Amino acid sequence: MMKVRRPRGTNDILPAETSNWQLIEAKIREICYRFGYQEIRTPIFEHTELFQRGIGETTDIVEKEMYTFLDRGRRSITLRPEGTASVVRAFIENKLYAAPLPAKLYYLGPMFRYEKPQAGRYRQFYQFGVEAIGSLDPVLDVEMIMLPIELYKECGLSNFDVHINSLGCPECRPQYRQALQERFMQIKDRFCKNCQARITRNPLRVLDCKSTKCQELAEGIPLITEYLCQECRTHFEQVIEYLNQLNMDYVLDPKLVRGFDYYTKTVFEIIVPTLGAQNAIGGGGRYDGLVEEIGGESLPAVGFAVGLDRLMLSLNQQDASVFPQINPEVYIAHFGGATKKMAVSLINELRKTGLWIEMDYLDRSLRAQMKSADRLNCNWVIIIGEDELAANAVKIRRMDTGSEDEVGMDAVIEYLMKHREENSNK
RNA sequence: GUGGGUAUAGCUCAGUUGGUUAGAGCGCCAGGUUGUGGCCCUGGAGGUCGCCGGUUCAAAUCCGGUUACUCACCCCA
Our measurement of CA A153 to C1' B41, in angstroms, reads: 49
Residues 67-96 of A with CB within 7 A of strand B = 82
Q: Domain locations in chain A?
A: 15-172+228-322, 330-416
Q: Would you say A67 and A112 are in contact if contact means Cβ atoms under 8 Å apart? A: yes
Nucleic acid strand B: bases within 7 A of protein CB: 1-3, 27-31, 33, 35-38, 67-77
> Which CATH number, 3.90.1150.10, 3.40.50.1100, 2.30.30.100, 3.40.50.800, labels domain A330-416?
3.40.50.800
**Domain boundaries A15-172+228-322, corresponding CATH code:** 3.30.930.10
Our measurement of CA A388 to C1' B37, in angstroms, reads: 20
Residues 109-148 of A with CB within 7 A of strand B = 113, 115-122, 125, 127
Our measurement of CA A306 to C1' B8, in angstroms, reads: 39
Our measurement of CA A12 to C1' B48, in angstroms, reads: 26
Residues 345-364 of A with CB within 7 A of strand B = 362, 364
Q: Would you say A70 and A77 are in contact if contact means Cβ atoms under 8 Å apart? A: yes
Strand B and A213 CB separated by under 7 Å: no
Our measurement of CA A127 to C1' B48, in angstroms, reads: 41
- According to DSSP, the residues that pair with A305 across neighbouring strands are A129, A283
| The pLDDT of residue A182 | 84
Strand B and A397 CB separated by under 7 Å: yes
Digitized pLDDT (tens) for each residue of chain A, 426 residues in all: 346 778 888 888 888 888 889 999 999 999 999 999 999 999 999 999 999 988 887 788 887 889 999 999 999 999 999 999 999 999 999 999 999 999 999 999 999 999 888 888 999 999 999 999 999 999 999 999 999 999 999 998 888 999 999 999 988 888 888 888 888 888 877 777 777 777 877 788 887 777 777 777 777 788 888 889 999 999 999 999 999 999 999 999 988 888 788 899 999 999 998 887 888 999 999 999 999 999 999 999 999 999 999 999 888 877 655 677 789 999 999 998 899 999 999 999 999 999 999 999 989 999 999 999 999 999 999 999 999 999 999 999 999 999 999 999 999 999 999 998 777 654
| The pLDDT of residue A3 | 65
Strand B and A235 CB separated by under 7 Å: no
ipTM computed for the complex: 0.85
| CATH topology agreement for domains A15-172+228-322 and A330-416 | no
